[in-house]
Amino acid sequence: MDFSIWTEKYRPKKLRDVINQKHVVERLKSFVKESRIPHMIFAGPPGTGKTCCAIAIAREVFGNNWQQNFQETNASDMRGIDVVRTRIKNFSRIKPIGESFKIIFLDEADALTSDAQNALRRLMEMYSDVTRFILSCNYSSRIISPIQSRGVVFRFKSLSKENVFEYMKRIVKGEKLKIDKEALDTIHLISGGDLRKATNILQASAILGKKITKKTIYEVAAQAEPKEITDMINNALNGKFLEAREILKGLLLKKGISGQDLIKEISNQLYKLDISDKDKIGLVEKVGEFEFRLNQGGNEQLQLEALLSQFALYKK
């Protein structure tokens, strides 16, 4: 059996293999062509290709030397100014190997405190002849403006259903899996367009067998199938509180789904229920209230049962 991690195995090696993000990739390609890389900020949702693009650039610019001239550091492990003053500074000063510059890729740069970002900004100025920085973040607004103005900001878009399908199909082909449309839809639904999440779900469910179905996906993703949640809600709305409670217990205790995930799915489904808009609004408010209680550390089963009893008040 092959134990490689698919998120690494299928990571694009070239910019042209990056899915979507055309507006970003086209400009990156022209930088690579001229071998003129500026400092850059990659902003966008998780699992949309920021790290991919940084690595692909390094491979294309440095060829075989890429690993010596590319350093990846995750800022969230070490948010403070010390890391910038020591580790990042030390690497910034080093001369590139066989190239005119090297690349430092700073993941989750928005986790750096503003002091740390200011120190980083000075490094960007001092060593810009030998070092280019690529900062990755979810929100560019969390990067101080002096850094933003020293670099080029690229915005990565969240990926569409077609994009997720395209990437899943690469893996399905590579791993000789079988998957149907329903299962693909489910992966897209759970991943929310995050390709890392989608890949991990696919790999986990492939352990159960080469044939990937909606059912195996929900098993490994430890999420409730929306239908079970619909049944639970409908039971509650129809005044069958005990039945609703049994389904709830199965989801929490047997399937090990977290109360937070359940509440999230309940709120997704609220809008589709066959009740009046006025009732929906009342229930949205209740869901919000119980979500808060769970966040405050309330007991999951108790709180969710209490929420279901609220649904019973809105009997159809």
Ligand X SMILES: Nc1ncnc2c1ncn2[C@@H]1O[C@H](COP(=O)(O)OP(=O)(O)OP(=O)(O)O)[C@@H](O)[C@H]1O
Per CB under 6 A, 50 contacts ligand X: yes
Per CB under 5 A, 51 contacts Mg ion: yes
Burial of 196 (C-beta count, 10 Å sphere; 0-12/13-18/19+): middle
Single out the segment in contact with Mg ion by CB under 5 A; choices: 43-51, 221-229, 262-270, 299-307: 43-51
Range 140-179, binding ligand X (CB under 6 A) = 167
CB of 200 to ligand X, least distance (A): 9
**Residue 47 near residue 85 (C-beta atoms within 8 A):** no
Per CB under 6 A, 7 contacts ligand X: yes
Q: Which does 20 bind (CB under 5 to 8 A by kind): Mg ion, ligand X, none?
A: ligand X
Single out the segment in contact with ligand X by CB under 6 A; choices: 14-22, 58-66, 270-278, 280-288: 14-22
CB of 5 to Mg ion, least distance (A): 14
CB of 108 to ligand X, least distance (A): 7
Q: Which does 262 bind (CB under 5 to 8 A by kind): ligand X, Mg ion, none?
A: none
Range 181-210, binding ligand X (CB under 6 A) = 195-196, 199
Closest CA to 104 of 143, 138, 75: 75
**Residue 137 near residue 46 (C-beta atoms within 8 A):** no
Per CB under 6 A, 234 contacts ligand X: no
SS3 call for 103: strand
Residue closer to ligand X by CB (options 19, 177) is: 19
> Looking at residue 160, what DSSP letter applies?
P
Side chain identity at 150, as an amino acid letter? R
Give CA–CA dist 169/164, Å, rounded. Answer: 9
Give CA–CA dist 63/72, Å, rounded. Answer: 17
Give CA–CA dist 135/154, Å, rounded. Answer: 10
Q: Which does 124 bind (CB under 5 to 8 A by kind): Mg ion, ligand X, none?
A: none
SS3 call for 42: strand
Give CA–CA dist 30/33, Å, rounded. Answer: 5
Per CB under 6 A, 19 contacts ligand X: yes
Binding footprint of Mg ion, residue count (CB under 5 A): 2
Single out the segment in contact with Mg ion by CB under 5 A; choices: 45-53, 66-74, 201-209, 279-287: 45-53
Per CB under 5 A, 48 contacts Mg ion: no
Single out the segment in contact with Mg ion by CB under 5 A; choices: 1-9, 51-59, 79-87, 119-127: 51-59
- Checking 111-115 for CB contacts under 8 A at 24+ apart, the result is 111/75, 111/76, 111/79, 112/75, 112/79, 112/84, 113/79, 113/80, 113/81, 114/144, 115/80, 115/81
CA angle 250, 256, 258 (to 5 degrees): 105
Residue closer to ligand X by CB (options 137, 252) is: 137
Residue closer to Mg ion by CB (options 50, 132) is: 50
Per CB under 5 A, 69 contacts Mg ion: no
Q: Which residues bind ligand X (CB under 6 A)?
A: 7, 10-12, 18-21, 46-52, 107, 136, 167, 195-196, 199
